[in-house]
A and B are shown apart, each in its own frame.
Chain A
Amino acid sequence: MKLPNIKKVSYPESTAEAVAILSDEKRNAVPLSGGVSFIFASTAGVEELVCLNRLPLRYIKKKNGGLLVGATTLVSELVEAGAVGSYADGILREAARRVGSTLNRNLITVGGSLVQPFIWSDLPAVALAMGAKIRIQGKKSRTIDAEKFYARPPRQLLKGGDLVTEVLFPAPPPGSRAAYRKFALTENDFAILKVAILLSRRKRLCREITVAVGGATVLPQRTPMAEAALRGKQASQVLVNEASELAAEEIKVSRDMRCSNDYKRELCRVMVRAILEEILLDQKVAEWKLF
């Protein structure tokens, strides 16, 4: 950890106070909660740390069938909360459970994990699949859809004291199914690829579908062609095979020293297909624990 030029650490008690400090350009302040990403960050220009842990942002609330999660909530608190387990087939709990190790989950916050995505982050793909809404407070407070939030590295969106304060995971539509799967070499290794899918269906009719792939690039991405292939259609094995092939073709893949890009595409095809077989075709699929 290299923070050579820190002159001050402040502990604001309110969001407004934190925003005021962060928006003062002369102070060169950065926000910090879990602090985990500091190990990888270049921080020579930082002169002040703004510790967010005293802000009243550590909560998980039910809201109209959805979930409202404060930014400084720990990932391990997501895993433990009953409300998260019962939300959308447990998709958020499953993703939270697979974040790093127990020791990491006790430090990493939900806000930090969403704002500072790494290629191995688990929560961004789920936020994108569920159409999460991210609340930003600053000079201009606003709420941004996950899709826009992840169109570019999120920190480019945050300017002049902007602070992500909470995230709303909206209620899944009626008749919906959701699943998140992560492929890694061991139970808590960095993921090579992960896929989150939310769909609403009536029997075999797929009414609406969102597929989010994480880990192919740093930012999570949707697969519009695969989604279009299934939206409004009677699902069948042939169609599911087609859609998963489309997903594998259309994703952007950046270089990863652990495997070739072709391997990642093939993995994407297999994972999308297997999840769809499970939640759209109601098939029993292979033992996912292997992943």
Chain B
Amino acid sequence: MKSNKNILSVLLNKRHKGRTISYTLVVAAWIILTVLQRGGHVSSLIAGLLVPITCYMVAALGLNLNVGISGELNLGQAGFMSVGAFTAVCISGYLAASIPAAPLRLAIALIGGAFVAVIFGLVIGIPVLKLQGDYLAIVTLAFGQIIKSIITNMYLGFDENGFQFSFVQNTTELAPGGKMLLNGPMGATGTQRIATFTAGVILVLIALMIIYNLIWSKSGRAIMAARDNRIAAELSGINITNTKMLSFVVSAGLAGAAGALYGLNYSTLVPNKFDFNTSILILVYVVLGGLGNMNGTMIATVVLVLLPELLRSLQDYRMLIYAVVLIVIMLITNNEHLKTWFKSIRSKQADSRKEAA
């Protein structure tokens, strides 16, 4: 009895409360949806949205580490998703014959996608993290655009004679039976759809685990110290560039894995999908959910992916209403009067609790 109570109090103490809630939320959602799906109670609409929601969630969690915890505005998250997605699609396409088992191939492709995105994160992070504030933001935007431009111009195919690669001008000539893995602006087509909701949920859990462990580690404290006061942190002997690099690279890796899952959920993937708008979309999930608040990010992602679908009955007006909702939410959540009002409610509750105790 006593030990039980102890475990519970540990799980709900300040340090663990956030992650306990996160894991519980995710696992509960998975169980409920899986049971409903088995029973045939989930509509095709929702069933089709499950995997993309987990993808956006993972990318947004990574971005929240970057923007919320580390305090760097990153406008190029879609670029890392793109790198991960196309890497994974290529890996899966190439291994389709040799590894027929979908879960294994999915795992390899996800790891591959995340790995390449991490490399990109490292290479891009070196110049980017020398800059600060809005200059950093625009450089991430620039890298996002460059990645899109480059992938739009890559041609990669393979046949029985091996790989053929060309850039800008498509010169690949495949023998019959060959397969184009990347076809320039047309991206990847004929991808086997091996992504599953369960894989998505596992990916979300892994992302949460990585982020929470990082936040509560020594490096995590250093990252937050660097965010709150760069100079004071530097004076305390923290290597600013290294700490920022850590969060940047982890964020890139998560985006890569998210992109990988996304890419393997559709039979076709175009480079244009991961443009500036997608980066912004993910940023909106993060800001709306609350900077540094992982649960908020997850909930905001679900709400904002579903919102346009729920507004479909408004037909042509739905994106207009979506924009209005976005503005109104930002105005309400940042309204000083409302904040004070909430605060007064909280303190009253706290008072009554004290009295009860």
> Do A and B form a real pair?
no
